Structure 1
Amino acid sequence: MKILAIIPARGGSKGVPRKNIKLLGNIPLLEYTINAAKASVGLSEIVVSTEDTEIAIAAEVCGYKPPFMRPAELSQDDTASIAVVQHAIDFYERQAVFFDAVCLLQPTTPFRAKGFIDQAILKFTASGADSLVSVLPIPHEYNPHWAFEEDQNGLLKVATGEQNIIPRRQELPKAFHRDGSIYLAKTSVAKAGSFFGNSIAYIESDPLLHVNIDTMQDWEKAERMVHKFNG
């Protein structure tokens, strides 16, 4: 299976300005994800998608000079990740280079266990699913079967639509949330505008490695993690 890895790294981050090239530990944030992708044997091609010259130079230093610069209109605060992926697919297909699947690797989740990307690829391939996402378990107190939402009368109803709430923690089905580390999808699914399709496989991430950097508090958590990792 030919898989295109896409690392989206725009320059206009707001919560942590210039975070993709900001030093975390002693290397730019972007480099953690590039190194994880580089270590994978299952990825056929790795591309850093950016509109920013400094980020492009940082990627080139790591050995992955972007083959294109992303258009400004696809680098806004409200630009969907799927649009960035579709742009990369289109770039390669216009050169008659085709991939069976795409793998989105976000720099904002910099820490991945060794071999995690290849484990995800193997599970995705074996599953036959349209897509695979990395997840973490939802603690039972936040399980959707125990969550409420407001109805039209301002009263509470079980968020899942069930009439009665599940009474015991042991009876709750497992629930997960996306952790942002890996998205894999068939190229046809991504071109249709989705990371998910009709069937979604999953792989659980290591919770001890999880941080999703959006704010300075997240960045400070990542710095503490790097300090702990480096002992």
Structure 2
Amino acid sequence: MSVAVIPARGGSKRIPRKNIRSFCGLPMIGWSIRAAIGAGCFERIVVSTDDPEIAEVARGLGAEVPFLRPAALSDDFATTIDVMQHAVGALGADGCVCCLYATAPFVRADDLARGAAALVAGDWDYAFPVTSFGFPIQRALRREADGRIAMFDPAQERVRSQDLTEAFHDVGQFYWGRADAWRGGRSVYGPRSTTILLPRHRVQDIDTPEDWARAEVMFRVLAEEGRQVDGG
């Protein structure tokens, strides 16, 4: 069984109600649901929420909400692993289970399918998308209170950029995982995880109103170019 679980709690702080706020003409969570439907690899698409309004919106968009998440798993301290452990247990899921974030409007159906293929291609616990940093992380700086700066790793200052190891970061869209890996609380960032690569122009955190505004502009540009349509 392949199941998509979309965590969507009601208590978002920095952007209130962001999981169901309209984003480019659709409730934000709708883009994730639409991509999951378009991927064609899920037997069930389930939203894990503590919020009746989010549940109603999710059902209207084609997802299931077979349970309401306990309040203890819906506060600021609950982790993705905590939420997925609960969902996998509540659903009695086996096989492959994908944690798909509700605030991932740039997620595409074909990327979800690629992630599924990567997971089953080897003996992996998890598979998820990453993208490259736009600047060498070895030259990262810290800024002191008085304005002065210092390198985190001064030894890298004179190394040529092309000789620095390329670094990547988690895109924050979805995580395919084996049900037993979720159930066992295994780390997503461990040695039994593999990745797929996404271009940087399709990656955007949405944590602040400024992030939201930037993401809508990016989304519309990609839609006009035919590179971001219906989550596919």
Q: Which residue of the partner structure matches residue 152 of structure 1? A: none
1:171 corresponds to which of 163, 171, 186: 163
Q: Which residue of the partner structure matches residue 192 of structure 1? A: 184
Q: Deviations over 1:100-150 (max 9, x none)?
A: 222111122211234110011112211322211211101343x2x44478x
CA contact (8 A) 1:22 1:28 kept: yes
1:113 aligns with 2:111: no
Q: Which residue of the partner structure matches residue 230 of structure 2? A: none
Aligned-partner residue type, residue 170 of structure 1: Q
Aligned-partner residue type, residue 46 of structure 2: V
Q: Which residue of the partner structure matches residue 74 of structure 2? A: 75
Distance across 2 between alignment mates of 1:216 and 1:208: 19
2:214 corresponds to which of 208, 218, 221: 221
1:102 corresponds to which of 97, 102, 107: 97
1:133 aligns with 2:128: yes
CA contact (8 A) 2:73 2:83 kept: yes
Could you tell me the TM-score, scaled by structure 2's length? 0.84
Could you tell me the TM-score, scaled by structure 1's length? 0.85
Q: Which residue of the partner structure matches residue 42 of structure 1? A: 41
Aligned-partner residue type, residue 161 of structure 2: R
Tell me the CA shift for residue 164 of structure 1. 4.5
Tell me the CA shift for residue 65 of structure 1. 3.1
Q: Which residue of the partner structure matches residue 64 of structure 1? A: 63
- Could you list the runs of 4 or more consecutive aligned residues of structure 1 that deviate by over 6 angstroms after TM superposition? none
Change in 2 beyond 3 A, CA 1:47/1:114: closer
Residue-pair matches, total: 217
Please say which of residues 208-217 and 10-19 is displaced more in the overlay.
Answer: 208-217
Aligned-partner residue type, residue 214 of structure 2: K
Q: Which residue of the partner structure matches residue 28 of structure 1? A: 27
- Ranges in structure 1 where 5+ consecutive residues have no aligned partner: 150-155
Aligned-partner residue type, residue 192 of structure 1: G
Please say which of residues 121-130 and 30-39 is displaced more in the overlay.
Answer: 121-130
Tell me the CA shift for residue 15 of structure 1. 1.0
Q: Deviations over 1:22-80 (max 9, x none)?
A: 11121100000000011112223211000101100001101223000001111101211
1:8 aligns with 2:23: no
- Ranges in structure 2 where 5+ consecutive residues have no aligned partner: 143-149, 225-232
Distance across 2 between alignment mates of 1:201 and 1:26: 34
Distance across 2 between alignment mates of 1:222 and 1:207: 13
Aligned-partner residue type, residue 171 of structure 1: D
Between the two proteins, what is the percent identity of the paired residues? 33
Distance across 1 between alignment mates of 2:169 and 2:20: 27
Distance across 2 between alignment mates of 1:207 and 1:201: 18
CA contact (8 A) 1:46 1:64 kept: yes
Distance across 2 between alignment mates of 1:62 and 1:140: 39
Distance across 1 between alignment mates of 2:140 and 2:212: 29
CA contact (8 A) 2:139 2:151 kept: no
Aligned-partner residue type, residue 61 of structure 1: G
Tell me the CA shift for residue 230 of structure 1. 4.5
Distance across 2 between alignment mates of 1:86 and 1:131: 14
Change in 2 beyond 3 A, CA 1:127/1:169: farther
Aligned-partner residue type, residue 209 of structure 1: R
